[in-house]
Amino acid sequence: MQKKKNTLIKVKEHLDFLLIALVVIPLILFALHFFLPEELKEKLALHRDYIIGYEIFTNHFIHLDLEHLLGNVISYLIAVILLYVSLTSINEKRMFYILFILNLTILPIIISLIWIPINKYIIIKFGSTRGFSGIVSSFVGMSICSIILSSFRKFGIKSKVAYFYLSILFLSIFLLTLLLIYFSNDFTLLLLTLSISMITIILLISYFKSIDKEIGNKFIKVGEIRLKVKYGFLILYLSVFILLISFTFLAFPFNPKNTNIIVHYIGFIIGMFVFFVVSNFLYVKSV
């Protein structure tokens, strides 16, 4: 009886998340897709040649077809569950809701404002943009950060410096890949590539030094365990990075469905950046 009571209490604690994130948001997306007239959907999309204003926000919530919608909803559910579980495991449920609200209100507008000028200068231009994938990518970026952060907490690593280096390291590599894939190969690109490569190497060295200080006094077996912890975080981070980059190379330039992968990049980077900012301003306990 007591077991059932405890289970009910746990379900009630997470009921708001289950209802809002896992039920209400997908239902809204499906309702917009099935009940809005096609003419109205076209007006809500973000067009390259003209911008009225409201579509900077609305384009994220309409989809081209059912396949497009289902792919985004499934990806969203996976990313948002990962974010929720990893943050609640370290008692940061409040942070989840702040990030969740930001992801559905302010960040879509920022993603659109960054995408608009990029769409004018890239080689392959998009006539119109629509879909939830920018927001989903932001959730993915946040969920990766939250997994790393919860791992840091569980290992007792409290240095914000190590977390900072690791986050910026990942972002710099990601930006480098974006430049190499999507922009023309000229002298400016070469300079940017060399600059970001140097920053990446410096951050990588800094990360190892900072985490050495953190875990050096925590483990008696300095050699083996220390190396496992130190390289463990790096392998986890880079594994996710390799998976994402592999997906990008497979999708571009062989992209028959003309997927707007750059918006995925923008959302992902913004998600990581916002998570880092929010985590540093909100944490009562240090990271």
Domain locations along the chain: 2-282
Does pLDDT of 121 surpass 90? no
Global pTM value: 0.76
167 versus 33: which is more confidently predicted? Answer: 33
pLDDT bucket at 18, cuts 50 / 70 / 90: confident
Count of C-beta atoms within a 10 Å radius of residue 37? 8
Q: What's the pLDDT at 252?
A: 43
CA 4 to chain centre: 36
pLDDT above 70 covers a percentage of the chain that reads 56
Mean pLDDT of 21-29: 93
Highest mean pLDDT among 147-151, 173-177, 283-287: 147-151
Mean pLDDT of 218-224: 47
In Å, what is the CA distance from 155 to each residue of 158, 210, 277?
Answer: 9, 15, 22
DSSP H helical ranges for the chain: 2-13, 15-19, 25-35, 38-44, 55-58, 66-88, 93-105, 107-121, 133-155, 160-182, 187-216, 222-251, 261-282
Q: What's the pLDDT at 231?
A: 61
Range from 90-94, 224-228, 246-250 carrying the lowest mean pLDDT: 246-250
